[in-house]
Structure 1
Amino acid sequence: MPIPKEDTKKNLVFDVRVATVVPGKITGENKTYELKGIDLAMKLHYLKGLYFFNNTNITNSTSNNGTKNNGTTNNLWSVSEMKSVPMYDWLISYFVACGRIRASSDETGDRPSIKLNDAGIRVVEAQSSKTVDEWLAMEDFLSMQDQLIYNHALGPDLPFSPLVCLQVTWFKCGGISMGLSWAHILGDAFSATEFMNMWTQYMQGHHQKPKTLAIQHPSQPNYKPLSPSQEPTSVKRVNPVGDHWVNPTNCKIGTHTFHLTPQQLDQLHLKVHGSKMKDKDSSQFFEVITAIIWKSIAKIRNDLETKNVTICRPKTIKQEHGMPYNGQVLGTIEATFSVSSADPSTLVHLVAENYVDESNMVEELVNHDMSKFDYIVYGQTLHLLT
């Protein structure tokens, strides 16, 4: 039974404690990590992640690590325990995430960079008066998630702003949630996911000896200056925000989640492709979902500002050593017809065949406009991530 909204505003999260965890090894003084154009295009965006673990999951993970569990409290996930050898070792591999932004430096001039000063990541521990099940049953659960994810933005004191924040919230049932706030300038959603996966491995003792990663900057191709007709449609210029890196938009954003079972995916695929569907053809599920969402939004908006779609895909080449980076491919698709009245199969074909990679154009645009503008990527057009 859903919990009424009026009961969700009191004593949800309390006893908040904040700490900083640093790498277990010095990465070297006065090192600077130069940010690429695609990194700076993402400077006003932040990635949020929220993971729930019930008491059984916590007990099992503790048992695997050889730590005694009393059924209600697990010190493995406390701030004091997280500030231990496994986390120190983990952050050695992610030492770039422990740095701080410098708006300018001797090495990069007016181009922002990350100072590798081992300042660490922010770790927060809190308590909740609810159980995990009660929290998930709240009617406005999606709008309340920010209480489980530490409020995090870079600036206005950039040298003191962490790039990553983790919040562990204890529920009265013994379960926990882990909230991640990740500055997109550090890396894309795929890097953030790998960051969390690696952390759980380290905390459970399943890790190898940490390695210090050498920072490498592959040579960048030289692009011709962009003409106005060549400028990417996947990003939008905005006036510089100064040292407080927050999206200046005043739009209210809502959140909705829906889950599709394999059977429902098969039905959608069949509905779009009909008799043309092949038994082994499961490669276009994303394209099918994209086409249906695109068409539905176009109907709601009467085709207003729905001719362009941006799709973010991972690169096929995996980054060595799991180093966080913005390696996503920003691609755009443009429809020259009414999307709301189009056949879904036509949109599927458009998504699959007319994808234009704008990553290099975005890189060149930001490098060309350095210090003149900031940028909005997510929300500039209908944006989908695969």
Structure 2
Amino acid sequence: MGSLPDLDTPSPSLSSRISTVVPATPRGDQNGAYRLNYMDLLMKLHYIRPVFLFNSQAVQGFSISDLKKPMFPLLDLYCHVSGRIRRSESGHPFIKCNDAGVRIAESHCDRTLQEWVDGNGNGNAVEGLVHDHVLGPDLAFSPLVFVKFTWFKCGGLSVGLSWAHVLGDAFSAFDFISKWSQMLAGQAPPKSLHMPNLPEPQILPNSISGNPPISIERTNIVGEYWLATNDKDVATHSFHITSEQLHYLITATSNQYSDTTNKAKKTTYFEIISALLWKCIANIRDQNFGPKAVTICTSKPNRPENESPTNGFIVLSKIEAEFSIGKCEISELVKLIDENKMVENHVVEKLVEGDLDFIVYGAKLTFVDLEEANTYHGVKLNGHKPIMANCTFHGVGDQGVVLVLPAPEDNELNGGNGRIVTVSLPRDELDQLKDKLGEWGIH
């Protein structure tokens, strides 16, 4: 099948206009302060950028006014999302809930959606369909969220979200745009969002103790411009792994092994995809068949519905191998990922103090599990699912990041779902990775 495009494809937009949406109910003198916790501040140099592509039938009858209208009551729920960053007297950042609003960008593309899809593999490009948004250098005036609507020549539409990670994780970003689509369809919004009751990080049996965490890396002080710099040219590309290819991967690499109780355990798709790419990238880097240490980013289960955006469910774990990654079997790496994750949250919390800046994604090679993201059933227009959805992270470090996301249903008899694997790596490594995954029939 054709490959998905490089996500640094030049923008397809011909023109763009910017407007602002504020909460429907002004807070007036009741402006509050939203406190940022250690995980929010840890993620402050990263940005989440999902995109949803819809055909003309899905958006028939919609105008830009129709699309903007649900945003006003939506921001009544997400009041701090329309706020701005401020600093306390001690220099600690917080969000002032001042109704400054989110930005709406409307663009027009000189191609049809089909031409865009045909010209870019399967149309998973994000660059150009998401506003290039970074906080600062004037933090007090920088919107935390941009929503970009790009109309295609045929009447199709893309909905692109640029979400400052300091607000919440990728699931929070997906939930925000899902709530918007529900309200666009006429559903009543919840009366309020639940503030997550998050316990303090604890030292668990599988937690590290006494060692510096590998899952974060301190950067040079960035001050009021919240984006770390790269030493290498980091590029992004998406691969589509079909359900048939996933089944083959599991079969070819022994999808079951026995744990300590001799009970069979089924491999998750995230684990096997991570193992495959870890081995491929290790061979590309060829430094004693490294990297031998990687970060796994997952989310705590049982997240409640209608939760306020949060980074508090993120779990950062390290995995270290004592053998050459490039030489081992993929099944060995799958088992290592499943059994040897060491949680670093509680150690990370102790380091994120004062005015220090860190990166997470790309500090070490990072694998992010977004398999449970409700990208196809959660966001609908006129009852239609997007024909394609994808997500990238902005602000990724030189070691790279791998996102594992749902794919649309395959056109196969079993109606299975594959995975979209969006990879950001130094450009030369990414080109080699395309060749290595091509040997598995993955493009």
How far 1:143 sits from its partner (Å)?
10
Which of the numbers 325, 339, 342 marks the counterpart of 1:353? 339
What is aligned with 2:320? 334
Alignment of 1:149 with 2:149, yes or no, is no
| Mapped contact 2:256–2:267 kept (Cα < 8 A) | no
Amino acid at match of 2:88: S
Q: What is the rounded CA distance, in whole Å, between the counterparts of 1:315 and 1:335 in structure 2?
A: 24
| 1:81-109 deviations in Å (ceiling 9; x for gaps) | 3342x22221111112111111x225xx3
Question: Helix, strand or coil for the counterpart of 1:149?
Answer: coil
Does 1:343 pair with 2:329? yes
Change (3 A) 1:143 1:190: closer
The residue that corresponds to 1:376 in the other structure is 359
State the alpha-carbon separation in 2 of the partners of residues 96 and 161 from structure 1: 13
- For residues 206-217 of structure 1, the aligned pairs below 5 Å read 206-208=187-189, 210-213=190-193
**Paired letter, 1:249:** N
Aligned to 2:178: 197
Q: Which residue of 1 aligns with 2:416?
A: none
- Give the letter aligned to residue 26 of structure 1: P
**CA-to-aligned-CA distance 1:96-123 (integer Å, 9 cap, x gap):** 2111111x225xx311011111111111
> For structure 2, which runs of at least 5 residues remain unmatched after alignment?
259-263, 370-443
What is the Cα deviation at residue 141 of structure 1? Answer: 8.7
**Residue ranges of structure 1 left out of the alignment (5+ in a row):** 60-68
CA RMSD of aligned residues (A): 2.9
> Is the 2:112–2:154 Cα contact (8 Å) retained in structure 1?
yes
Which residue does 2:84 correspond to in 1? 100
Structure 1 distance, partners of 2:269, 2:122, is: 28
Aligned to 2:268: 284
Q: Report the equivalent of 1:33.
A: 34
Partner Cα separation in structure 2 for residue 98 and residue 379 of structure 1: 28
Contact 2:194 2:307 in 1 (8 A): no
Shift of 1:235: 0.3
State the Cα deviation string for residues 290-313 of structure 1 (Å, max 9, x = none).
111111111111145511111111
Task: Report the counterpart of residue 15 of structure 2 in structure 1.
Answer: 15
One-letter amino acid of the structure 2 residue matched with residue 19 of structure 1:
S
Deviations 1:335-368 (A, max 9, x none): 111011112221111100001111222122102x
Which amino acid letter does the alignment assign opposite residue 374 of structure 1?
D
User: Which of 124, 134, 146 pairs up with 2:115?
Assistant: 134
Larger Rg: 1
Question: 2:303 matched to 1:322?
Answer: no
Distance 1:294 1:285, change over 3 A: same
Q: CA deviation at 1:285?
A: 2.2
Quote the Cα distance in structure 2 between the aligned partners of 1:144 and 1:270.
Answer: 31
Aligned residue for 1:295?
279
Structure (1/2) with the larger helix percentage: 1
1:56 aligns to what? 57
Change (3 A) 1:317 1:359: farther
Pairwise mapping of residues 168-207 of structure 1 onto structure 2 (< 5 A)?
168-207=149-188
TM-score in terms of structure 1 length: 0.83
Deviates more, 1:30-39 or 1:281-290: 281-290
AA at the equivalent of 1:313 = T
3-state SS of 2:273 partner: helix
Whether the aligned pair in 1 keeps the contact of 2:22 and 2:101 (CA below 8 Å) is yes
**Displacement of 1:265 after TM fit?**
1.3
Structure 1: distance between partners of 2:336 and 2:255? 18
Determine if contact 1:143/1:255 at 8 Å carries over to the other structure.
no
Q: Shift of residue 212 of structure 1?
A: 4.0
TM-score w.r.t. structure 2 length? 0.73
Alpha-carbon distance between aligned partners in 1 of 2:251 and 2:334, rounded to the nearest angstrom: 13
1:251 to 214, 219, 232: 232
Identity over aligned residues, as a percent? Answer: 40
Tell me which protein shows more strand as a share of its residues: 2
C-alpha displacement of 1:139: 4.9
Instruction: Please identify, of 174-183 and 250-259, the stretch whose mean Cα deviation from structure 2 is larger.
Output: 250-259
Q: Which residue type is aligned with residue 36 of structure 1? A: N
| Among 48, 67, 70, the residue aligned to 1:82 | 67
Show CA shifts across 1:195-242 (max 9, x none): 11111111111233x42447577564699xxx9952211000112101
Aligned positions, number: 353
The SS at the match of 1:57 is coil
| DSSP-derived class of the 1:155 partner | coil
Q: 1:221 to 1:335 in 2, by over 3 A?
A: closer
Q: Does 1:118 align with 2:118?
A: no
Q: In the alignment, is the contact (CA less than 8 A) between 1:36 and 1:363 conserved in 2?
A: no
Does the 8 Å CA contact 1:142/1:255 hold for their aligned counterparts? no
1:137, distance to aligned residue in structure 2 (A): 2.2
Report how far residue 275 of structure 1 moved.
Answer: 8.2
Q: Report the residue type matching 1:41 in the other structure.
A: L
SS at match of 1:292: helix
Where does 1:210-249 land on structure 2 (aligned, <5 Å)?
210-213=190-193, 220=200, 229-249=210-230
Q: Which amino acid aligns with 2:37?
A: K
Alpha-carbon spacing, 1:30–1:58, altered in 2? closer, same or farther (3 Å): closer
